[in-house]
Structure 1
Amino acid sequence: MRRDGFEAFVLTLPKTTLVRQWRDDSVAKVGGKIFALLDRDPGEVWLKVSEMAFELLTELDGVRPAPYFARAGWVAISVESPLRGDEVEAYVREAYRIIAGKLSKTVRAELGL
């Protein structure tokens, strides 16, 4: 996924903020918590997934446990993976849902979620 496409897509999700940090990666957050990022080098989408999705996805070529984030259930999806763009977007939406659901009631109320 290219940066412009990733950024445009994540900004369609309610109350998402986008920052560039670390090595100029595009980092998507909700309530100040990261739910997905685009690692420009080597061009992977990193995102939070469920335990079951982690087990299934990491069996695919082009999908690996995300460095530094794997212990929290994150995967890194490369352009070489068999996943289509709409499937990656569905996983990003689910990552958003997972992280937004873990926000405190107060923060969710402040965000209108």
Structure 2
Amino acid sequence: MSEEDVARFCLALPGAQEDYKWGGVRVFSVAGSKMFALQNLRGESLAFKVDKELFLGHVDRPGIGPAPYLARAQWIIMQTPYPLGADELQGLLQRSHQLVVSKLPRRVQVGLFL
């Protein structure tokens, strides 16, 4: 997947928004401020949240590592070209979105899917 393919996929998820922060980071979030993916504007990297139980398995894979400052919250980072196939990457991004949405209040969750 290209960087733009990733961005289009993230923005197609329910309630997803994009913002630009920290002088060069494209932030994909839900409910205004709950991040589920980060993309370097120069297209060099992609970071997102993974399941706690799967975190160590992901960071052991070639081309994937713990995300700086966010690893304690089970975020991984990968450089381009992404070391995962399109289907696997889309599945992980969708799961990241689900993990973040699941922490939101129920009324906000319901609003995202209307």
Q: TM-score, normalised by structure 1?
A: 0.87
Q: Which whole-Å CA distance do the structure 2 matches of 1:43 and 1:101 have between them?
A: 29
C-alpha displacement of 1:81 = 5.3
Q: Deviations over 1:79-98 (max 9, x none)?
A: 35531122111110000000
C-alpha displacement of 1:46 = 0.4
| Matching residue of 2:49 | 48
Superposition RMSD in Å: 1.9
| Matching residue of 1:93 | 94
Q: Which whole-Å CA distance do the structure 2 matches of 1:8 and 1:42 have between them?
A: 14
| Matching residue of 2:12 | 12
C-alpha displacement of 1:29 = 0.4
Q: Which whole-Å CA distance do the structure 1 matches of 2:52 and 2:9 have between them?
A: 24
Deviates more, 1:3-12 or 1:53-62: 3-12
Indicate conservation of the 8 Å contact 1:62/1:80, yes or no. no
Q: Deviations over 1:60-108 (max 9, x none)?
A: 1110100010011100022355311221111100000000011011322
Q: Deviations over 1:32-84 (max 9, x none)?
A: 20001112457111001011221111001110100010011100022355311
Distance 1:84 1:65, change over 3 A: same
Q: TM-score, normalised by structure 2?
A: 0.86
Q: Give the unaligned 5+ runs of structure 1.
A: none
**How many residues are treated as equivalent by the alignment?**
113
User: Could you tell me the percent identity over the aligned residues?
Assistant: 30
| Matching residue of 2:21 | 21
